[in-house]
Structure 1
Amino acid sequence: MTESERQASAATHASAGGDPHRRLARMAGEWEGLYRLWFEPDMLASESTQRGSLRQVLGGRFLLHEYTWDFDGRSYAGLALYGFHIDEARWECAWVDSFHCGSSIMFAQADADATTQHPLSHFSVLGSYGDGQTPPGPRWGWRTEIEQPDDDHLVITMTNITPDGVEAKAVEVRYARKI
């Protein structure tokens, strides 16, 4: 093995190791649970079943979440790619959803301080989106939190944040692992 091959092998091994990647591996599997949606603070708009598959990709570096849910008689789908950026010491996410995102890809990340403050069963990322107006107004925030209290349960909470910083729960998914 050449020196460059040894370095590439060491980099590959290092990029898929450590507690964050073990945390992602623990989430892998087939899931089903309750999807709840809010458009206004404290006013539940809908409940339905969400089915999701979370699988490790690229040697365990990332977790791909593919899911489906229903609202108002129509089916929707989405996917998110979660990962831990080792060099920056932070969680990152790319998210698309046929209902929530339109034709955009939302990129979200946690700062290093937020990453170190959470227990191993929880992580959070923050992204933003435009208001859809022409000309565009101020961007809105969107925080995604993922908590795994035990091996067979997963809670995903998404919070909408106005440009003025007012927060309101927008989505909550309470998954149970399918056996």
Structure 2
Amino acid sequence: MAKSKFEQSLADGAHKQLQSLVGSWKGLTRTWFEKDVLADESPAEAEITAILGDRFISLDYQGSLEAKQFEGKMIIGFDIPYQRFNSSWVDSFHMGTQIMLSSGEATANGFSVFGEYGSPEYGEQLWGWRTTLEIVNEAEFILTAYNVSPEGDEAKATETVYKRTAGRDL
């Protein structure tokens, strides 16, 4: 009997790649508020779990910024019909009460998704937020985010290099 597209993706596609991230991770987060000016460097921890029958992963993380604790969550999935990665993101520092929805393409060893954020009190123009996830190997991945001005200028905002502490195969 032929496998469904989802079963095939779990066996050797994007869903297998996402499931390879399930586990516990520790890392170092670097933050920039101005282009090329490092503002903070602090430890981070993440737990990635499979949810809804391995259709999605949940990346739950904690860290600090300028000695203030924060936490966040990303739900990440791969949309088989449209062949795109999608994510929802909330956290207690960057997003306030907003939920950022992002979508984008696969890369050679991960994905890049793009969302927008803003507030009417700061003007009507939305800013972009591009997030990349690069799987270096089974024990390391890099999560990087870039602020994108309304004019299209891009600057690195955060980068966390995560190392596996425990996982499905450990």
Asked if TM exceeds 0.5, the reply is yes
RMSD of aligned Cα (Å):
1.9
Name the CA distance, whole Å, in 1 between partners of 2:159 and 2:61.
13
Contact 1:16 1:59 in 2 (8 A): no
Q: Does 1:123 align with 2:117?
A: no
- Cα offset for 1:13? 4.4
Contact 1:56 1:64 in 2 (8 A): yes
Structure with the higher fraction of residues in helix conformation:
1
1:125-175 deviation line (CA, Å, top 9, x unaligned) = 000001x34373211100000001100001000000000000000000000
Which of 11, 25, 28 is equivalent to 1:31?
A: 25
Letter of the structure 2 residue corresponding to residue 128 of structure 1: E
Contact 2:6 2:80 in 1 (8 A): no
Aligned pairs, number:
164
Name the CA distance, whole Å, in 1 between partners of 2:122 and 2:62.
33
Which of the two has higher C-alpha Rg?
Answer: 1
Matched with 1:50 is: 44
Matched with 2:154 is: 167
Letter of the structure 2 residue corresponding to residue 136 of structure 1: G
What SS is found at the alignment partner of 1:88? coil
Contact 2:70 2:93 in 1 (8 A): yes
Which consecutive unaligned segments of at least 5 residues does structure 2 have? none
Which of 73, 85, 96 is equivalent to 1:91?
A: 85
Name the CA distance, whole Å, in 2 between partners of 1:12 and 1:20.
9
Which consecutive unaligned segments of at least 5 residues does structure 1 have? 1-9
Matched with 1:7 is: none
Structural mapping, 1:61-80, within 5 Å = 61-80=55-74
Please report the TM-score for the alignment, with normalisation by the length of structure 2: 0.90
Structure 1 residues 47 and 135, CA gap change in structure 2 (3 angstroms)? closer
Provide the identity percentage.
36
Contact 1:160 1:170 in 2 (8 A): yes
Name the CA distance, whole Å, in 1 between partners of 2:125 and 2:94.
18
Letter of the structure 2 residue corresponding to residue 59 of structure 1: G
Letter of the structure 1 residue corresponding to residue 39 of structure 2: A
Name the CA distance, whole Å, in 1 between partners of 2:157 and 2:39.
10
- Cα offset for 1:55? 1.0
Which consecutive segments of 4 or more residues in structure 1 shift more than 4 A? 10-18
